[in-house]
């Protein structure tokens, strides 16, 4: 499994390196390389890649979609770190982009990643109908009805006038939607019927929310309101376990017994055990 995911990450990095090398503005190119090439876990591209292969997709068509998803994720991290948002000084053990290059360059670099994601998609060799559905899926997850909705709701949160339902919505929109879109996009590259697509959708929805709740559990001690601090650690862990069981049930119905989709649920459980 580690060898497989490493090989995919290497192919993805080569693709990204080639695209960023073509950026003509020196400072922008340097900033884009700085923030994306060291790489994180590449979880979202891995989910897309694994799902696509499960449904017999051509690897040549997978790489652009995986890269577009990583571009959008990277843009969201850059903007999250800004002084007006989370005001984080570090990211992945290095100075955050605005600390290294200044706030203006960071904002514009994030904008470049978001816009270039759809340029990469538009230049892929995916069939027109599938490409349209993939673009719609990713845009819906990242846009005003998805990630931006969750982020703005999080920024404007009123801890004195919010309930569990609203906090779950924030968690689902802020992080869960792009994870769900990653597996859905992978399925759409391949050949999948409506029944299996719905199971993949339910899997993505469950693990997306589970991942965000597990992330929020780590932040309970930071005196910040989120779904885990609202529920309490014990109940948040129980809620995450329920979601993982739903995700695993979808995989059983799809007769998926190994691979990264299974491994992703295990990774979330490991996070819970570490709390």
Please tell me whether residue 94 adopts helix, strand or coil conformation: strand
In the chain, the domains with their CATH numbers are: 2-273 (1.10.600.10)
pLDDT tens, residue by residue, 57-94: 999 999 999 999 999 999 999 999 999 998 999 998 89
pLDDT per residue of the chain (275 residues) written in tens, 0 to 9? 778 999 999 999 999 999 999 999 999 999 999 999 987 789 999 999 999 999 999 999 999 999 999 999 999 999 999 999 989 999 988 999 999 999 999 999 999 999 999 999 999 999 999 999 999 999 999 999 999 999 999 888 876 678 889 999 999 999 999 999 999 999 999 999 999 999 999 999 999 999 999 998 987 766 678 888 889 999 999 999 999 999 999 999 999 999 999 999 999 999 888 76
CA distance 195 to 253: 10
Burial (CB count within 10 angstroms: exposed 0-12, middle 13-18, buried 19+), residue 21: exposed
pLDDT tens, residue by residue, 228-249: 888 999 999 999 999 999 999 9
Q: What residues contact 36, with CB distance under 8 A and at least 6 apart?
A: 16, 20, 70, 71, 74, 113
Please tell me whether residue 91 adopts helix, strand or coil conformation: strand
pTM of the model: 0.95
Token digits for 132?
Answer: 């349209």
CA distance 197 to 52: 12
Q: What is the pLDDT of residue 159?
A: 66
Q: What residues contact 49, with CB distance under 8 A and at least 6 apart?
A: 8, 62, 66, 186, 260
Q: What is the pLDDT of residue 221?
A: 66
């Amino acid at each position: 499994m580690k060898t497989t995911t490493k090989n995919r990450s290497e192919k993805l990095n080569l693709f990204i390196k080639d695209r960023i090398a073509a950026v003509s503005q020196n400072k922008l190119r340097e900033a884009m390389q700085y923030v994306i090439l060291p790489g994180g876990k590449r979880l979202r591209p891995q989910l897309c890649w694994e799902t696509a292969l499960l449904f017999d997709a051509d690897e040549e068509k997978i790489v652009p979609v995986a890269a577009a998803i990583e571009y959008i994720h990277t843009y969201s991290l850059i903007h999250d770190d800004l002084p007006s948002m989370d005001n984080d000084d570090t990211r992945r053990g290095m100075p955050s982009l605005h600390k290294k290059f200044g706030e203006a360059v960071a904002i514009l670099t994030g904008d470049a990643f978001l816009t270039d994601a759809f340029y990469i998609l538009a230049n892929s060799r995916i069939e027109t109908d599938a490409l349209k559905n993939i673009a719609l899926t990713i845009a819906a997850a990242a846009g005003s009805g998805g990630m931006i909705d969750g982020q703005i709701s999080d920024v404007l949160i009123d801890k004195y006038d919010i309930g569990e339902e609203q906090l779950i919505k924030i968690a689902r929109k802020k992080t869960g939607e792009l994870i769900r879109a990653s597996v859905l996009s992978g399925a759409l590259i391949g050949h999948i019927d409506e029944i299996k697509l719905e199971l993949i959708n339910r899997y993505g929805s469950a693990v997306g929310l589970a991942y965000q709740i597990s992330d929020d559990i780590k932040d309970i001690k930071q005196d910040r309101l989120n779904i885990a601090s609202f529920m309490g650690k014990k109940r948040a862990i129980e809620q995450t376990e329920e979601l993982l069981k739903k995700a695993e049930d979808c995989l059983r119905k799809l007769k998926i017994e190994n691979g990264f989709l299974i491994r992703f649920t295990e990774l979330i459980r490991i996070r819970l055990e570490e709390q």
